Structure 1
Amino acid sequence: MFGVEARALMLEGVNELADAVQVTMGPKGRNVVIELSYGTPKITKDGVTVARSMAFENRVKNVGAALVKQVANATNAVAGDGTTLATVLARSIFAEGTKSVAAGMNAMDLRRGMNMAVDTVVEYLKSKAKTISTPTEYAQVASISANGDAEVGDLVAKALEKVGKEGVITISEGKTLENELEVIDGLKLDRGYLLTNFITNTRTQKCELDDPLILVHEKKISEASKLKPLLQLVVKLQRPLFIVADDVVGEALTALVVNKVRAGLKVCVIKAPGFGSYRIDHLLDFVALTGSKLISESTSLKLEDVTVEMLGNAKKIIVTKDDTIILGAVGDKQVIQERRDEVTSQLKKATAKFDKEKLEQRLSRLSGGVAVIKVGGASDVEISEKKDRVVDALNSARAAAYEGIVPGGGVALLQASRELDKIKTTNFEEKVGVQIIQIAMKIPAYIIAANAGYEASMVVGKLLEKIENDSFGFDAAQGEYVDMFKAGIVDPVKVLRRAIQDAVSVSTLLTTTEAVVYPNYTSNSNSNLHYN
C-alpha cells in the first residue's frame, strides 16, 4: 500500500489509539476498562497500559498504532511516566504532518523543521527547570502523576525521604484497605532459607540471627571436613553463622543441621542471589556491604583456612522462606563507595534495558535502605488500578529529582511554543514543520481542560494571554487560574523531554512513510505467502 492511502489508514489506527489513551489525562481523567483474556477486567488510568492492550484487525491501522505504542513504551522505559503525553503529541504531529504532505510539501524539509523545533523546546524546558529536594516538592510531583491523589504523593515522598532517590523502593499489593509504607534500614536479598530446619521462630516461621558472622562462598559446599574449622570457630566465639553460597549439600548440610540440633548453633544458609555472570557481581557487592571476604578460587581463599577476619558482620539478619533482610551490615565505607562508583560507571555505558535494570538494582542495594509501599484496597481490581498510579507517581518523582520541574498542566509546553517563533528557517516547508510542533505543544493543556469539563479553547486562550507570567496556569481539578508552583501543579522536565523527543522521533518517520508492506495470508493457499 502506498502514499496517501497508507498514511491515512495508519493515521486511523493512531487516532483510535490516542482517543482511548487521552481520556486518562489530567486530574479529572477517566478510567479505561480493559478486557483480559482471563480473569476479571482491568481498570486503569495508566496510558501505557491502555496503549499496550489495543490492536486492530486492519493490518495497516495496526502498523500505525504499533509505532505509537512504541513511543509510549520508550517514554515509559526511560522516564517511567509521560506515556499519555507522548501518545497525544505523536498523534497531533503525525496528523498535521500528513495534511502537509498531502498538500504537496516536502516531507524531509518538514522533518528538519520539526527537529529544529524540538531542540528549541527541550533547551527552553531545561533553562526553566527548578531543582527539587524537599519532601513537599516530591509529594507535589507524585500527586500530579497519580491523578491528583495526595495520599499517594505523600507516601512516595516519605519513601524517597527515607531511602533516597537511589534507594530501593518496592511496590507490592497490601492486605488491608489502606496504603502502607514499611521502611527497612538495611539490605534485602530475594533468597530465603535453604531448609526449614534453620527456623528459630516457629510462630513467625523466620530464622532470626543477632550479631551473626557472615561467610560468603562462590561455589557449592559439600564436604563437612572443610566446614569443620569454621564451625569450631563460631562455637568458640558463641556467635550465629550466616552462609551465602552457590549451594550447600550432602555432608556439609547435614553437619550444619546436626550442630544446630545438638550443639545449639544458630545457623542459616541461603543460595547466592543472581544467576550466571550477575551472581559474582552480586556476591562482590555483598562482601563489600558486610565487610567479608569472598571465598573462591579467584581470591585464593579456601574454606578450610577461614579466619574471623574473613567473615562479615551485621547487627541482625532475618530470613523467611522467600527473602533475607540484613540490618546494620558493617562494611568498609571506602570499599562500598568504590563499588558504587564502579556500578555507576557501568550504568552510564549500558545500552540494553535488562543490563540497565540489573545495574540500577545493584546501585540501589549499595546505596542502602529498603522501602516497601503496600497498596491497599477493597478488591483486586481496585488494588491493581491504584498500583498503576503509585508506580507512575514514584517514577515521576524520581525523574523530577534528576532534571528538575516546570509548571504543570501543559503550561510549560505552551510557554515553549512561543519560543518557536524565534526559529529562523531556510524555506517554507521547514517553517511549517516548526508550526506543526507549535500546534502540538498546545494539545496537552487543551485535553486536560476538556477532560475536566471546561471549554478548552477558552482556557488555552487565557493561558496564552498570560504567557509572560511563567507560573500562571489552570488548575483543572478546582477550575481556577492559579500560580502553578504555589498550587503544587508541576511536571518533571525529564518526563516532558522524553515524551516530546520520542513522539517526534516516531511521528516524523510516519510522516515520511511512502509505502507499507505487510503479509497477506490468502485463504486458498497454504504454502504461498503474498505481500501487499
Structure 2
Amino acid sequence: MASVVAPAPTAAALPAGGGGANRRAFQGNEKPMEVRLSNMTAAKAVADAVRTSLGPRGMDKMIQTAQGEVIITNDGATILKHMSVLHPAARMLVDLSAAQDIEAGDGTTSVVVLAGSLLGAAEKLLNKGIHPTIIAESFTRAAAKVVEYLTEMALPVDLSDRDNLLRAATTSLSSKIVSQYSSILAPIAVDSVLRLVNNESDNVDLRDIRLVKKVGGTIDDTELMDGVLLHQNVITSAGGPTRVEKAKIGIIQFQLSPPKPDMDNQIVVNDYRQMDKILKEERLYILNLCKAIKKSGCNVLLIQKSILRDAVNELALAYLQKLKILAIKDVERDEIEFLSRALGCKPISDVEQMTADKLGEADLVEETSKNGAKFVKVSGVHKPSGKTVSVLCTGANGLILEESERSLHDALCVVRCLVKKRFLIVGGGAPEVECSLKLSEYARTLKGPDAYCTEAFADALSVVPTTLAENSGLNPILLLTELRNRHAKGEKTAGINVRKGVVSDLSGESVLQPLLVSSSAIELATETVGLLLRIDDYHPTR
C-alpha cells in the first residue's frame, strides 16, 4: 500500500524571523490546549449554574444537603459552597466566590458570572493563536484600567450621610428573597455598623454584631436590641430565678458535675456504705464549687458547653437555685470572646480564679419572649470591654429565617465596604457598560495582540447588563444597544431599571452599590482567569 509523504517546507515558505514557526509549534502542542479547554469548560459550567440568580429578578436555588437539610437561596456564595464540585478548575470558581464574600460580602454571583465571561473571551483568543501568557497579562492591565474608570465615576460618601448608606443597603437586599422587607432590614444593618464606628474608622469587625435567630413571628419583627442577647434559655428545671436585677455575671469554663477519671474505668462498689460515701463526696464537691461561685458575688452564671462530661448536673442546679443564682448553660466556645467583650467580664477556667474582679455588671438580666420565641436579654451593662451590637432575627420558619440572616449579613457587609472605601457607584449594569466603552476606546490606541485582548475584555464586561436583562424577561439585545447609545452620549449613570423594564438614570432611582464590591469583583475574577490560563498540564498525585 503506497503512502504519501508531505514535502518539508522550504526556507522560502517560512516567513522571516521564524514567527510563523513559533506559532505553528504552539498550536501543534495539543495537550496544553486540551487541558486549558477542559479547565475552561468546567469553570464556565459553574458560572452558568449561578448566572440565572443574578439581579433583583434572579431565580432561587433549592439545595438539599447530605443530611437532608433543605436550603432555598439566590446568594452565589451559599449556592457554590453547597455544590458538590469535583473538577479542580471548577473549585477555583467556588473559592473565587468565597474570596469575594470575605473581601466585600456582596457581588458573589457577579464575580463568578464575570469570570465565566472572561474565560469565554480567553477561549476565542486562544483559538486565534494568541499565547495564554500574553492574554493573562493583557487582562491584568485591562482590569487595572477598569478599576481606574470605576474610581473616576464613583461618588464620595460620608458615614454621617445615613440616606446614602440606606440606599446602598437597600440595593443589596433588592436581589434577595426577602427583598420586600428591605425597608426593615436596611436601617438595622446601617444602624448596627454606625454604632461600632466613628469617622476615623477604616474597618469594622462584623463579629461584634451578634445575630440571634428565633423561629416565631415574621421578618417584620426583626429588630436591633439595646443590650446583649443570648439565644440560650435560662435553666428553670430546678426552679431557679429567671430575672435578676443588679446582676454580676460570670462566665465559667469548668464543669459543675462530679469529676471523671482520665481513662475509661469501671468502678464496682459492693458495699452500700461505700456507695453512700461516694455520693456524699460528690455532693460536697459540687456544694463547695457552688459556694465559691456565690462567695465571689456572682448571681448570673454562664456555663460553657462541655464535650467531656456534663457541664452542669441536676444536683448543681438545685444548689444554684437555693443560692438564688440564675444559670444559663450550653454557651459555645466561639461565643466566649464576644460575650466577654460585650459584658465586660473574663472567662474563668478554674474555681480558684473565681473572684469579683472577673465578673461583669449589668442593671438587669431577664428571660423574655417575643412571638413565642424565648431569649435572654442583658440590659444596662456597666463596663463593656468593647462596642458590640445584638440583633434579634425572627421568621415564620427555619428556611425563611436562614435566608433572612444571610441577607442581613450581606447588607452589613455592604455598609462595611463603605467604611473601608467611602465611594458609591450606580448599579444596574451602568458601570460595566461605561467601562466597556472606555476600554474599547483605549484598545484602539494599542497595537498587536494587546489590542485584541483588551477589546475582548471590554466585550466580556457586557455580560452583567445582558444577564440582568435576561433574568428580568427583557430583550437583552435591545436594552444593551440602547444602554451603549446612552453612555456614548455621556449619560454615565444610565442603567437597566428591571422593575420598569427600561433604561433610565439609576442615580435618581437610588440603585447604588459600594465601589469596593465592583472593583474587587473585577480584580478577583481577572486574577482567577489568569491562573487558569497559565495552567498547561494536570497531574493527580497518589
Give the shorter-chain TM-score range: 0.7 to 0.9
Alpha-carbon separation, structure 2, partners of 1:476 and 1:455: 11
> Does residue 242 of the first structure (1) align with residue 242 of the second (2)?
no
Q: Cα offset for 1:450?
A: 2.1
Mark the CA change 1:81 to 1:227 in structure 2 (over 3 Å): closer, same or farther. same
Alpha-carbon separation, structure 2, partners of 1:455 and 1:279: 50
Q: Which moved more, 1:393-402 or 1:117-126?
A: 393-402
CA contact (8 A) 1:92 1:440 kept: yes
CA contact (8 A) 2:157 2:164 kept: no
> Does residue 330 of the first structure (1) align with residue 382 of the second (2)?
yes
SS for the counterpart of 2:434 is helix
Please report the TM-score for the alignment, with normalisation by the length of structure 1.
Answer: 0.72
Deviations 1:362-399, CA, capped at 9 Å, x for gaps:
xxxx323211222336xx65666666545444433443
Question: What one-letter code is carried by the residue in structure 2 that aligns with 1:494?
Answer: L
Alpha-carbon separation, structure 1, partners of 2:349 and 2:535: 57
Give 1:144's aligned residue: 171
Q: Cα offset for 1:25?
A: 1.4
CA contact (8 A) 2:189 2:411 kept: no
Identity %: 19
CA contact (8 A) 1:20 1:50 kept: no
Q: Cα offset for 1:314?
A: 0.6
CA contact (8 A) 1:192 1:323 kept: yes
SS for the counterpart of 1:214 is strand
SS for the counterpart of 1:508 is helix
CA contact (8 A) 2:111 2:521 kept: yes
> Does residue 407 of the first structure (1) align with residue 433 of the second (2)?
no
Alpha-carbon separation, structure 2, partners of 1:177 and 1:66: 37
Q: Cα offset for 1:86?
A: 0.9
Alpha-carbon separation, structure 2, partners of 1:44 and 1:247: 31
- For structure 2, the 5+ residue unaligned runs are 1-29, 197-207, 257-284
Q: Cα offset for 1:414?
A: 1.9
1:212 to 230, 243, 247: 247
Mark the CA change 1:312 to 1:53 in structure 2 (over 3 Å): closer, same or farther. closer
Deviations 1:337-368, CA, capped at 9 Å, x for gaps:
xxxxxxxxxxxxxxxxxxxxxxxxxxxxx323
> Does residue 12 of the first structure (1) align with residue 41 of the second (2)?
yes
CA contact (8 A) 2:61 2:79 kept: yes
Alpha-carbon separation, structure 1, partners of 2:83 and 2:316: 57
Q: Cα offset for 1:316?
A: 0.8
Alpha-carbon separation, structure 2, partners of 1:456 and 1:514: 36
Give 1:266's aligned residue: 324
Question: What one-letter code is carried by the residue in structure 2 that aligns with 1:470?
Answer: K
> Does residue 471 of the first structure (1) align with residue 493 of the second (2)?
yes
Alignment of 1:328-477 (within 5 A): 328-331=380-383, 336=385, 366-376=386-396, 388-403=406-421, 404-420=423-439, 421-422=441-442, 428-467=448-487, 468-477=490-499
Q: Cα offset for 1:294?
A: 7.2
SS for the counterpart of 1:172 is strand
Alpha-carbon separation, structure 2, partners of 1:283 and 1:386: 23
Q: Cα offset for 1:209?
A: 0.9
Q: How many equivalent residue pairs? A: 458
Give 1:339's aligned residue: none
SS for the counterpart of 1:197 is coil
Alpha-carbon separation, structure 2, partners of 1:232 and 1:52: 49
Alpha-carbon separation, structure 1, partners of 2:431 and 2:172: 16
- Structure of larger gyration radius: 2
SS for the counterpart of 2:503 is strand
> Does residue 508 of the first structure (1) align with residue 535 of the second (2)?
no
Question: What one-letter code is carried by the residue in structure 2 that aligns with 1:446?
Answer: T
Give 2:504's aligned residue: 482
Q: Cα offset for 1:330?
A: 0.3
> Does residue 158 of the first structure (1) align with residue 210 of the second (2)?
no
SS for the counterpart of 1:453 is coil
SS for the counterpart of 2:156 is coil
Alpha-carbon separation, structure 2, partners of 1:215 and 1:405: 44
SS for the counterpart of 2:147 is helix
Give 1:197's aligned residue: 238
Deviations 1:419-470, CA, capped at 9 Å, x for gaps:
4344798862333332232122221011111222222223223222332223
CA contact (8 A) 1:466 1:472 kept: yes
Alpha-carbon separation, structure 2, partners of 1:267 and 1:369: 26
Q: Cα offset for 1:481?
A: 2.9
CA contact (8 A) 2:247 2:299 kept: yes
Alpha-carbon separation, structure 1, partners of 2:361 and 2:404: 39
Question: What one-letter code is carried by the residue in structure 1 that aligns with 2:32?
Answer: G
Give 1:494's aligned residue: 516
1:84 to 109, 112, 136: 109
CA contact (8 A) 2:48 2:116 kept: no
Mark the CA change 1:310 to 1:476 in structure 2 (over 3 Å): closer, same or farther. closer
Mark the CA change 1:435 to 1:371 in structure 2 (over 3 Å): closer, same or farther. same
Mark the CA change 1:266 to 1:141 in structure 2 (over 3 Å): closer, same or farther. same
> Does residue 131 of the first structure (1) align with residue 154 of the second (2)?
no
CA contact (8 A) 1:110 1:432 kept: no
> Does residue 106 of the first structure (1) align with residue 128 of the second (2)?
no
CA contact (8 A) 2:219 2:393 kept: no
Mark the CA change 1:171 to 1:187 in structure 2 (over 3 Å): closer, same or farther. closer
Q: Cα offset for 1:415?
A: 1.9
Deviations 1:183-234, CA, capped at 9 Å, x for gaps:
321124566556733632xxxxxx2211123346676686756875874685
Q: Cα offset for 1:116?
A: 1.3
Deviations 1:146-180, CA, capped at 9 Å, x for gaps:
34565332222231344335452526363345542
CA contact (8 A) 1:94 1:508 kept: no
Q: Which moved more, 1:10-19 or 1:482-491?
A: 10-19
Question: What one-letter code is carried by the residue in structure 2 that aligns with 1:285?
Answer: R
Alpha-carbon separation, structure 1, partners of 2:212 and 2:37: 42
Mark the CA change 1:63 to 1:162 in structure 2 (over 3 Å): closer, same or farther. closer
Give 1:203's aligned residue: none
Alpha-carbon separation, structure 2, partners of 1:293 and 1:73: 34
> Does residue 45 of the first structure (1) align with residue 45 of the second (2)?
no
Deviations 1:271-330, CA, capped at 9 Å, x for gaps:
69564xx788567635xx43x677789xx9954xx56x7654211113599975321110
SS for the counterpart of 1:104 is coil
Deviations 1:115-168, CA, capped at 9 Å, x for gaps:
112122223333414326455444433343334565332222231344335452
Alpha-carbon separation, structure 1, partners of 2:170 and 2:427: 12
> Does residue 175 of the first structure (1) align with residue 216 of the second (2)?
yes
Deviations 1:256-280, CA, capped at 9 Å, x for gaps:
844743xxx53124569564xx788
SS for the counterpart of 2:54 is coil
Mark the CA change 1:118 to 1:129 in structure 2 (over 3 Å): closer, same or farther. farther
CA RMSD of aligned residues (A): 4.1
